[in-house]
Amino acid sequence: MALTLTVDGPRWRAHLRSVADRTPGLVPVAKGNGYGFGVGRLARKAGWLGSDLLAVGGYGELSEVMGRFDGDVLVMTPRRVSSTGDSERVPTDPRLVHTVGRPEDLQALTATVDRPRVLVEGLTSMRRHGLTMDELAHLVAHPPSGVRIEGLALHLPIGIDATQEVRDWLALGLTRQVFVSHLSAGQLADLRTRHPDVTIRPRVGTSLWLGDRAALTVSATVLDVHAVTRGQRAGYRQRRVPRDGHLLVVAGGTAHGIGLEAPTAAASARQRAIALARGGLDAAGLALSPYSWAGRQRWFLEPPHMQSSMLFLPASVPPPAIGAELGVEARFTTTAFDQVTIS
Residue (203 or 298) nearer to ligand PLP, CB: 203
At CB < 8 A and 24+ separation, what contacts does 21-25 make? 22/185, 23/185, 23/188, 23/202, 23/204, 24/188, 24/192, 24/200, 25/199, 25/200, 25/201, 25/202
Q: How far is the CB of 234 from ligand PLP (least distance, A)?
A: 40
- Say whether residue 45 binds ligand PLP (CB under 6 A): no
- Could you tell me which stretch among 17-25, 135-143, 204-212, 321-329 binds ligand PLP (CB under 6 A)? 204-212
Residue (31 or 98) nearer to ligand PLP, CB: 31
Neighbour tally for 234: CB within 10 Å: 16
Rounded distance between C-alpha atoms, residue 40 and residue 31, angstroms: 9
Rounded distance between C-alpha atoms, residue 298 and residue 60, angstroms: 38
- Say whether residue 205 binds ligand PLP (CB under 6 A): yes
- Strands 148-154, 233-234: pairing is unpaired
Q: Provide the edge-to-edge strand list for the sheet that holds 53-56.
A: 27-28, 199-204, 177-181, 148-154, 117-122, 96-100, 72-75, 53-56
Site string for ligand PLP, 207-246 (x = CB under 6 A): x---------------------------------------
- Say whether residue 203 binds ligand PLP (CB under 6 A): yes
- Say whether residue 201 binds ligand PLP (CB under 6 A): no
Residue (64 or 302) nearer to ligand PLP, CB: 64
Subset of residues 71 to 130 that bind ligand PLP, contact rule: CB under 6 A: 76
The residue count for binding ligand PLP (CB under 6 A) is 10
Q: Give whole-number Cα distances, 17 to 14, 259, 332, in Å.
A: 5, 33, 21
- Say whether residue 19 binds ligand PLP (CB under 6 A): no
Q: How far is the CB of 211 from ligand PLP (least distance, A)?
A: 9
Rounded distance between C-alpha atoms, residue 226 and residue 243, angstroms: 13
Query: Which among 45, 56, 324, 81 has a CA at the least distance from the CA of 208?
Result: 45
Please pick, from the candidates 7, 16, 29, 39, the single residue that binds ligand PLP as defined by CB under 6 A.
29
Q: How far is the CB of 131 from ligand PLP (least distance, A)?
A: 15
Helix (H, G, I), strand (E, B), or coil: what is residue 14? helix
Rounded distance between C-alpha atoms, residue 75 and residue 64, angstroms: 13
Please pick, from the candidates 125, 132, 206, 271, the single residue that binds ligand PLP as defined by CB under 6 A.
206
Q: Closest residue to ligand PLP, Cβ-based?
A: 205
- Could you tell me which stretch among 202-210, 263-271, 273-281, 318-326 binds ligand PLP (CB under 6 A)? 202-210
Rounded distance between C-alpha atoms, residue 123 and residue 136, angstroms: 10
Q: Give whole-number Cα distances, 282 to 133, 263, 275, 285, 297, in Å.
A: 52, 20, 7, 5, 13
Subset of residues 133 to 162 that bind ligand PLP, contact rule: CB under 6 A: 155
Residue (32 or 40) nearer to ligand PLP, CB: 32
Bridge-partner residues for 203, per DSSP? 27, 181
- Say whether residue 56 binds ligand PLP (CB under 6 A): no
- Say whether residue 184 binds ligand PLP (CB under 6 A): no
Task: Name the residues that contact ligand PLP, by CB under 6 A.
Answer: 29, 31, 76, 155, 181, 203-207
